[in-house]
Amino acid sequence: MLAQTAEDVSEALQRLGEASLEYKLDGARVQVHRSRDDVAVFTRSLNDVTASVPEVEAVRALPANELILDGEVLSLDAAGRPLFRAG
């Protein structure tokens, strides 16, 4: 994409004219490593965030002894809504 920044929505609309907007939820890029019951979750910069990711038990429940998963994770609350962390 050839995206450009703007100070605010008004400035962006002034530059673009008519536009369509949509919500986008950004997760965190992670790699999950599993060897038997040992599960570790790492960020893109190799920080171990295993203790911060509640879905580790879901990975242990997968029908595999060894695996590496690579992707983006978005944690959900009990009602199935995305968890947000103020940045």
State the catalytic residues.
24
Please answer whether residues 41 and 53 qualify as being in contact, where contact means their C-beta atoms are separated by less than 8 angstroms. yes
Place of tokens 């998963």: 69
37 — phi, psi (to 5°)?
-90, -5
